[in-house]
């Protein structure tokens, strides 16, 4: 009885296990695919730049004296010829007066001696002396008049007062800098370019450059090439390059402020394939490979690729794939050679 029972159990179990071991048709794994796309290799450079004005001059008095007027408001715009500062002109006016009197004296003397000389009463020497005295006093008068005119400083061009270095009523000596005037008809951006980039782009003017001030990345201005130095900085071995603002000068930029210059190389037509970073798997050596979709067999195969650059969440592939190849872009760790897959298509 017992034996029969056990045998029955055994058969029953066997039957059960057989029925469960029916091999199921394995359904393909649904995978997310990405088509490798050709993309232009953008060469983007960013440099910290210093903003400078086209012209920046220091105003100085050529005479000494006490300052009696200054119309210098830093940052204000001044028109050409506008009086900016005045030194007390009284001493210079007196000097002019004095010179004029001396000159008139000399003129009178000359006239007198000339008359006498013509009458052959005076000697030739006296006449010559009077003539040179006349010229000397004339020059002295002109000098005095010029000095008087130097008491007033006028704007040499339309400018912005960059800085003021004097205070009213102070005593000014000849040669003291009064103020700094900047010509903002154009703004320059100068920055240091590493040797490597300089040599790689020698002679290349086909670039698109923009600039923005630090902290105001949303206000971007176009700039263009102006000049560059050909000797590098002795320490950093970088080259000084200058670009200028294309558009009307805005109040946003101040000379001396820091800006960021962004230069895009339009010449570079190199192209590379773009695939998601997530599709890369480390290969046997220290390179990378991807799972390429084989649409005829609906399977995937491992292909070695070479990564040349990363761009955000994407990697640029320099070899191994061709444009339009589809690669698995998710769950790559779960893929294996020859796996039957089906492309995931969003249905809603």
Partner 1 sequence: MDIARFSLTKPINIWLLSICFIIGGIVAMGKIGRLEDPAFTIKQAVIFTYYPGASAEKVEKEVTEQVEIALQQMWQLDTLTSVSKPGFSRITMEIQPHIDGPLLPQIWDELRKRLRDIEQNLPLGASAPVVIDDFGDVYGIYYALSAPDFSADQMREFSRIIRREVLTVDGVAKVKVGGILEEEIVATIDSYQIAGLGLSFPDIQQVLASNLKPFSGGRLYVGDKQIRIPIESSTNKIAEIENLSIVVPGNNASIKIKDIAKLSLQPVAIPSGLKRFNGEQAITLAVSAQNDINIVDVGQHIETKLAEVLAKLPAGIEVSSIYNQAKIVDESVDGFILNLEASVAVVTLALCIFMGWRSGVVVGGTLLITVLGTVLIMWLYDLQLQRISLGAMVIAMGMLVDNAIVVAEGMMLRMEKGKSAMESASFIVKRTQWPLLGATVIGIAAFSGIGLSDDATGEFLFSLFAVVLISLMLSWVLAVTLTPLLGKYFYKVGDKEGQEASHSLFHKAYLVVLRNALHWRGVTLAILVAITIGAYASFGFIKQGFFPPSNTPVFFVHYWGAQDSDIRATEKHMKAGEKLILDTEGIESTATFIGESSERFTLVFGPELPNESYGLFLVRAYDAADIPRLAQEVSNKLRAANPNVNFYAEIMQFGPGAGAKIQARFSGEDPAILRDLAEQAKAIYFADGKIRDIRDDWRDKGIVLAPEYDDIAAGIAGVSRSDFSQAIKFYTDGLQIGQLQDGDYLYPIIARNSNTNPDQLVGLQNSLVWSSSQRTYVPFKQVSGKMNYTSEELLINRRDRVRTITVKAEAGYSETTGEAFNRTQAKIEAITLPEGYKLEWGGEYESSRDAQAALGQGLPLGFLVMFLISVLLFGRARQPIIIWLIVPMAVVGVVAGLLLADLPFGFMSLLGFLSLFGMLIKNAIVLLEEIDLQIIEGKEKDIAIVEASLSRLRPVSLAAITTILGVMPLILDPFFADMSVTIMGGLAFATILTMIAVPVLYSVFYKIKVTKY
Write out the two tokens for 149: 């005119």
Under the binding rule (CB under 8 A), the answer on residue 123 touching partner 1 is no
**DSSP letter at 216?**
-
| Contact by Cβ (8 Å): 315, 280 | yes
- Taking the complex as a whole, how short is the minimal distance between the CB of residue 266 and partner 1, in angstroms? 18
Under the binding rule (CB under 8 A), the answer on residue 258 touching partner 1 is yes
Under the binding rule (CB under 8 A), the answer on residue 220 touching partner 1 is no
What is the total residue count of the chain?
348
Q: Which of residues 40-59 bind partner 1 (CB under 8 A)?
A: 44-48, 50
Q: Give Cβ neighbours of residue 232 (< 8 Å, ≥ 6 apart).
A: 195, 238, 239
Under the binding rule (CB under 8 A), the answer on residue 217 touching partner 1 is yes
146 alpha carbon, distance to own chain's centre: 44
Write out the two tokens for 13: 């179990």
What CA dihedral angle connects 305, 310, 311 and 315, to 10 degrees? 20
Among 85, 193, 211, 241, binds partner 1 (CB under 8 A): 193
207 vs 260: CA distance, rounded Å: 16
Interacting span for partner 1 (CB under 8 A) from 1-9, 136-144, 149-157, 173-181 = 1-9
CA angle 100, 103, 104 (to 5 degrees): 85
Among 74, 105, 195, 222, binds partner 1 (CB under 8 A): 195
| Contact by Cβ (8 Å): 304, 282 | no
Under the binding rule (CB under 8 A), the answer on residue 270 touching partner 1 is no
Among 68, 107, 163, 197, binds partner 1 (CB under 8 A): 197
Closest to partner 1 by CB, 287 or 324: 287
Residue numbers at the binding site for partner 1 (CB under 8 A) = 2-3, 5-7, 9-10, 13-14, 17, 20, 23-24, 26, 30, 44-48, 50, 192-197, 214-215, 217, 235-238, 258, 260, 277-278, 280-288, 307-312, 315, 330-334, 336-337
């Amino acid at each position: 009885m017992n034996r029969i029972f056990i045998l029955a159990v055994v058969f029953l179990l066997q039957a059960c296990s057989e029925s469960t071991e029916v091999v199921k048709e394995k359904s393909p794994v649904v995978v997310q695919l990405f088509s490798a796309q050709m993309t232009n290799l953008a060469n983007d450079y960013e440099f910290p730049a210093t903003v400078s004005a086209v012209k920046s001059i220091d105003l100085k008095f050529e005479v000494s004296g006490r300052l009696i007027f200054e119309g210098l408001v830093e940052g204000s715009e001044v028109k050409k010829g506008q009086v900016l500062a005045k030194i007390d002109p009284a001493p210079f006016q007196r000097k002019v007066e004095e010179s004029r009197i001396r000159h008139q004296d000399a003129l009178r003397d000359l006239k007198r001696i000339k008359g006498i000389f013509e009458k052959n009463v005076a000697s030739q020497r006296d006449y010559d002396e009077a003539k040179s005295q006349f010229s000397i006093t004339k020059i002295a008068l002109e000098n005095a008049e010029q000095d008087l005119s130097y008491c007033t400083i006028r704007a040499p061009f339309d400018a912005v007062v960059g800085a003021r270095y004097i205070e009213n009523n102070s005593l000014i000596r000849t040669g003291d800098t009064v103020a700094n005037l900047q010509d903002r008809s154009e703004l320059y951006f100068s920055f240091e370019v590493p040797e490597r980039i300089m040599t790689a782009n020698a002679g290349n003017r086909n670039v698109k450059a923009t600039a923005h001030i630090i902290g105001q990345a949303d206000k971007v201005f176009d700039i263009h090439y102006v000049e560059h130095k050909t000797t590098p900085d002795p320490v950093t071995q970088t080259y000084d390059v200058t670009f200028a603002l294309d558009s009307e000068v805005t109040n946003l930029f101040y000379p001396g402020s820091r800006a960021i210059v962004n230069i895009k190389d339009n010449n570079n037509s190199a192209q590379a394939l773009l695939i998601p970073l997530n599709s890369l798997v480390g290969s046997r050596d220290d390179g990378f490979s991807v799972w390429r979709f084989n649409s005829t067999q609906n399977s995937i195969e491992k292909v070695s690729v070479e990564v040349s650059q990363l761009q955000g969440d994407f990697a640029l592939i320099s070899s191994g794939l061709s444009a339009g190849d589809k690669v698995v872009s998710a769950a790559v760790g779960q893929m294996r050679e020859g796996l039957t897959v089906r492309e995931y298509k969003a249905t809603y």
